[in-house]
Homo-oligomer: A and B are copies of this chain.
């Protein structure tokens, strides 16, 4: 499988290590770098996660044409690269989340890995519950639109 699906809640041990779910690891097994890339989500107290391919695409498009990218987009790329961390996992499949990243998501003892297709997120479990409750409410309200919407495939 090449997609991140489902939710896994794993423990953060006293050394700060967390097991990356096995299915996530196998989804990334094709890439050369044995690990994940994480950066703080801009609009929520969560951590964005992905493979190295994402960053390479970002770098490629950024240098391909400066005209395609607005200063704002450039800001964004800058922020993402600057606040990203390449985390190699150990032989057991664990990574240590950097302090600043943990703080951003208020993670202390447990981390919830949430599959989002081609990317994933890491949440503090309780914060995730709250976030999902909101999302659920919004979804119910906007149901008519959701039903009509088509998945965008490229």
Contact = CB atoms under 8 A, between A and B. Distances in A.
A115 interface: yes
Interface centre among A43, A85, A151 (most CB of B within 10 A): A151
B140 A43 contact: yes
Nearest to A100: B7
Interface residues of A, number: 62
Contacts of A139: 42, 72, 75-76, 79
A72 B138 contact: yes
Nearest to A120: B81
Contacts of A51: 153
- How often does this chain occur in the complex, in copies? 2
B144 A43 contact: yes
Interface in A41-96: 41-43, 50-59, 61-63, 70-73, 75-79, 81-86
A143 B43 CA distance: 11
Contacts of A76: 135, 139, 146-147
Nearest to A30: B153
Contact of A152 (B55, B118, B140, B144): B118
